A and B are shown apart, each in its own frame.
Chain A
Amino acid sequence: MLSPVLCSDLAALEPEYTEADVISTVEFNQTGEFLATGDKGGRVVIFQREPQGEYNVYSTFQSHEPEFDYLKSLEIEEKINKIRWLPPHNPAHFLLTTNDKTVKLWKVSERDKRAEGYNLRDEEGRLKDLSTITTLQVPVLRPMDLLVEASPRRVFANAHAYHINSISVNSDCETYLSADDLRINLWHLNITDRSFNIVDLKPENMEDLSEVITVAEFHPHHCHLLAFSSSTGTTRLCDMRARALCDQHAKLFEEAVDPSRRSFFSEIVSSVSDVKFSHSGRYLLTRDYLTVKVWDLNMENKPLETYQVHDYLRTKLCSLYESDCIFDKFECAWNGTDSVIMTGAYNNYFRMFDRASLRDVTLEASREVCKRRAVLQPRRVCVGKKRKETDVSVDSLDFRKKILHTAWHPKENIIAIAASNNLYIFQDRMAPNGHHNTPEIQSAPPK
């Protein structure tokens, strides 16, 4: 089914990777030709897909630096929380990156010409003898090796008192939202000194605080719709046409919890860690700790489909709580046709669910598979006794190896999986246009 296209280990030279190398977000652009990753060190790496299908590093730049807020005595980490690509404007590429406090707009552009010819100096920079200058020389442009440069275009700062968890570009292509734990702000892409607060959950008294915003996203086609979800397991849909302030939602998606199954962990595991609109705009995909759910925008009271990601952990919540793993924020993704769902799990496993056939599969992103360029084999986690040699017992799962960030190519069956400092890109061997992409084409890239 899936075979690796690229396994990029960003710190392969060092035996032990550093914390700064851990990938914190993965995002394809609108065409899928580019893939951007952000890491805890504030770096952004952009990969470009070559005609043969493999993804190679296109540009790397430092997006955010560690900072210190002197007024609040607070350190601001450089970790990239989210990356979002803007719809294409011109030959250059634009992307928004954010850490906890500041959103930046970056332009990544190519340059293949260089100006030559000075009047007063020669090309090495030595001053010419003035008496030899008898005519004026206008510089001329000559071709040069392709240079990709990233330049910061805008810095949207000072609008968030809490940590930014999401950014999302509106389909009107001129505004975007940024959401922190309690508020959602609306920005114009050309205006950095002003943003409008559209959702504010901050209670007058912070002791009354009962929920925080975990993620927010704009509808892919309707510029007035946005969804945001909260730590209480609800997802709200807001209509910006109705009011300037969207504190009152248009729809609330929430599944009633069976009171008999309530426990200390119920609320923690129901906290929504990711929300994605389907490409069609009809459905919402939400991920909580144990499940992914598909919601129809027209049905608020229960999800259309619920898929168990790792139900075998239900009995282990206590130890997961102790190790803080229960607070891990897993992302989820749709494939290009909204027929398959993907989300991450522990032990470097990730899960895929086919919505039509209801078949699901557990796959592993590992460097061994990459080295062999073999086809990924399904894995099975068993609760009791092993039935097959390849089965893995729940107790032997490595909870430090987790796949939080995943992305699906907007059109093709290519997926990007971030596992700590490794980025894996897998591709369906049978490309959608019918011709085979043999894994042998790939020169093993870990570099």
Chain B
Amino acid sequence: MAGAEGDDSLYPIAVLIDELRNEDVQLRLNSIKKLSTIALALGVERTRTELLPFLTDTIYDEDEVLLALAEQLGSFTVLVGGPEFVHNLLPPLESLATVEETVVRDKAVESLRKISQEHSPVDLEVHFVPLVKRLASGDWFTSRTSACGLFSVCYPRVSSTVKAEIRQHFRTLCSDDTPMVRRAAASKLGEFAKVLELDYVKSDIIPLFTALASDEQDSVRLLAVEAGVSIATLLPQEDLEALVMPTLRQAAEDKSWRVRYMVADKFSELQKAVGPEITKTDLVPAFQNLLKDCEAEVRAAAANKVKVFCENLPEDSRETIIMTHILPCVKELVSDTNQHVKSALASVIMGLSTILGKDNTVEHLLPLFLVQLKDECPEVRLNIISNLDCVNEVIGIRQLSQSLLPAIVELAEDAKWRVRLAIIEYMPLLAGQLGVEFFDEKLNSLCMAWLIDHVFAIREAATCNLMKLVEKFGAEWAQNTIVPKVLGMANDSNYLHRMTTLFCINALSGVCGQEITTKHMLPVVLKMSTDQVANVRFNVARCLQKIGPVLDSSALQAEVKPVLEKLATDQDMDVKYFALEAISVLSLCSSKLCMLVQFTHSSSQTSPHEPSQCDRIGIGTCLLQHAICFS
């Protein structure tokens, strides 16, 4: 009897263990993800002596299995018997830290870093540090790269002799033969510097930093830039000039554009790290050079930083620096030959207005905005429009409206549907800032035109846009301007447009409120229930389900229920399905229908083709969108 009981509890675990070796990767993966269950069942002793040795040797497996294993082992301490046994987890993680797949190695290192904290100081020196040393002096670069990420977690917690050894190992890796290892060391240099005593930062880290920053491989030098930023934050201001700045200056003028790009990309961090004085003397000219760089990628990266850089300039001289040094470069970038540069600039240039204030904005920035609003590249115009709110706060949007309108109209009619989609998304924002009158006069017709766009994604976004506009301008505005037009489309000869009416009603009923919905929308929806196209009819059912909660119960009982009941007997099975669903959701069912509803519900859960039924319009529009993407 006891044996039989044993079987019952053992069986699921037995299956899990067997599936660790299943031929199907998915099953192995499932099993590995439940490794803690297996370990719990085996107990700490057997986990240590049997399970872990087995796992140590399973590094032949697929990456995703190894990745899951590396992750699991990071939180396995309790399962091997707590902190005093945590070193038992080192062998499997050590072998995972040498596999060729970067993501697996990184995860193994992450887990090693995690469990290093659970080692007692003694265990750290007895078990963990030797592992780091083994990895650091391994034959293969995979193990040496992994070692780079482990120095900083053990350094603070070991004796000074071991500390010296660790520093020595790190030094060796910084001058490794393979660029992969030097890159790994360069990327961990900043992190390692943080845990080192300041004297050692000066005596050890600085020479390493200087060496890596002048490595023969671009890919190593560019990583040294980031390390330089971290190191700069650690040093007292008076040492920066002598120890870090020469190298950073050299990086900003490196022969390789990738290194200069990295400097541009890290410019705001750099600015914070070196403080206001060096910013004024060194970074401003460096930034000017980056904005004028011969490589477009560098200019674009620098252009992205214009706003943040200006914001963080020391307050006393901010305006002078911007006006005399930065703005002339910005003016040139507005007419750059490369569209990525222009669009990067357009995404931040509006932010300058808050920094420079009203007068400067009107005099200097406004002309630039106007040029960018007329740019040939839609992305540039879009970026300007999407940031209008910054300018609005400073000078009001009216100043721009004359140029804004043609830009918006042009984007609204762009041949690329993604561009149209992007401008639709800014409509609520624009409407809020331009005001209801301007909107009615100039933009309303655009919003309506999008409803009959030939791309579904645009029509869908247009309905959503209407909802947001109503939220801004109120139900009364909706009743006067939008609702009549939307309802008018119900008589359109194109069934896609008739469906758009339904989608709009879905979106608008909530924000328009009960009165408008009952009085104006509901009759139209009910009328459409006799549409000859089944797609329209089942969308009527879905629509009724959606607007039901907005209606009062008398309208529901008297008007909606009969229509839905009729649709529930429709000859098209989709119409039937959605009608029954609506009846059930709105709790309109008489007992006979109720059973039917439940029946269809339970069958729909198991029926595999159910989703494709309700998405059958979706597929068509998807294809249409794809066709347009490719065209």
Contacts and interface: CB of A to CB of B under 8 A. Distances in A.
Interface of A: 87-92, 94, 107, 109, 111, 113, 115, 118-121, 130-131, 133-141, 153, 171-174, 190, 221-224, 240-244
Interface in B126-170: 140-143
A90 B98 contact: yes
B60 A172 contact: no
B42 interface: yes
Contacts, number: 114
7 contacts: A118-B18, A136-B10, A139-B21, A153-B100, A172-B217, A222-B216, A244-B257
Interface string B1-34: 0011011001101110110110000000000000
Contacts of B183: 174
Given A138-B42, A244-B297, A87 B178 contact: yes
Contact of B51 (A92, A115, A138): A138
Main secondary structure of the interface of A (DSSP, over half): loop
B36 to A, nearest CB: 15
Contact of B295 (A94, A121, A224, A243): A243
B142 A90 contact: yes
B18 A115 contact: no
Contact of B99 (A88, A90, A120): A90
A118 B183 CA distance: 44
A87 B140 CA distance: 10
A224 B255 CA distance: 11
A136 B42 contact: yes
Interface string B160-192: 000000000000000000111001000000000
Given A115-B21, A190-B102, A90 B140 contact: yes
Interface string B407-435: 00000000000000000000000000000
Interface in B458-493: none
Contacts of A222: 216
Contacts of B98: 90
A173 B179 contact: yes
Contacts of B295: 242-244
Contacts of A131: 3-4, 7
A90 B100 contact: yes
Nearest to B100: A89
Contacts of A242: 255, 257, 294-295
A121 B10 contact: no
A120 B18 CA distance: 7
The residue among B17, B99, B102, B216 with the most chain A CB atoms within 10 A of its own CB is: B17
B14 A171 contact: no
A280 to B, nearest CB: 15
Contacts of A119: 10, 14-15, 17-18
B256 interface: yes
Contacts of A190: 102
Contacts of A153: 100-101
B318 interface: no
B41 A136 contact: yes
Contact of A91 (B6, B15, B140, B216): B140
A111 B57 CA distance: 10
Contacts of B15: 119-120
Q: Is the interface of B mostly helix, strand, loop or mixed?
A: helix
B258 interface: yes
Given A89-B142, A90-B98, A243-B295, A174 B219 contact: yes
B316 interface: no
Contact of B218 (A107, A221, A223, A243): A223
B294 A243 contact: yes
Residue in B98, B178, B296 with the greatest tally of chain A CB atoms within 10 Å: B178
B514 to A, nearest CB: 50
A130 B140 contact: no
A133 B14 CA distance: 9
Given A91-B140, A115-B21, A138-B50, A130 B7 contact: yes
Closest CB pairs A-B (n = 9): A241-B256, A119-B14, A138-B50, A90-B140, A89-B100, A172-B219, A141-B57, A172-B179, A90-B142
B6 A134 contact: yes
B60 A133 contact: no
A90 B296 CA distance: 38
Contacts of A130: 7, 11
Nearest to A109: B60
Contact of B14 (A88, A94, A136, A244): A136
B438 interface: no
Nearest to B141: A89
Nearest to B297: A244
Contacts of A174: 179-180, 183, 219
B194 interface: no
B142 A223 contact: no
Interface in B20-71: 20-21, 41-42, 46, 50-51, 54, 57-58, 60
Given A133-B10, A139-B21, A221-B216, 5 more contacts: A120-B18, A134-B7, A174-B183, A223-B219, A243-B295
B20 A173 contact: no
B216 to A, nearest CB: 7
B14 A120 contact: yes
A338 to B, nearest CB: 20
A410 to B, nearest CB: 16
Contacts of B254: 241
B76 to A, nearest CB: 15
A1 B626 CA distance: 64
Contacts of B296: 244
Nearest to A128: B14
A16 B4 CA distance: 67
Nearest to A141: B57
Nearest to B46: A138
A136 B99 CA distance: 30
Nearest to B296: A244
Contacts of A173: 141, 178-180
Contacts of B17: 119, 136-139
Contacts of B178: 87, 173
A134 B57 CA distance: 26
Contact of A138 (B54, B100, B180): B54
B54 A139 contact: yes
A177 to B, nearest CB: 15
A301 B51 CA distance: 67
B218 A224 contact: yes
A172 B184 CA distance: 12
Given A136-B13, A223-B179, A244-B295, A171 B217 contact: yes
Contacts of A115: 21, 54, 58
Nearest to A119: B14
A131 B41 CA distance: 18
- In this complex, the member of A90, A94, A242 whose beta carbon has the largest number of chain B beta carbons within 10 angstroms is A90
A240 B256 CA distance: 7
A119 B21 CA distance: 11
Given A131-B3, A138-B51, A222-B216, A243 B100 contact: no
Nearest to A224: B218
A221 B218 CA distance: 12
Contacts of B46: 136, 138
B179 A133 contact: no
Contacts of B41: 136
Contacts of B50: 138, 140
A111 B60 contact: yes
A244 B178 CA distance: 24
A290 B218 CA distance: 38
A339 B7 CA distance: 74
A183 B219 CA distance: 23
B257 A94 contact: no
Given A91-B140, A141-B57, A174-B219, A243 B14 contact: no
A231 B183 CA distance: 38
A322 to B, nearest CB: 43
A94 B217 CA distance: 22
Contacts of B217: 171-172, 223
A22 B100 CA distance: 32
Contact of A89 (B20, B21, B54, B140): B140
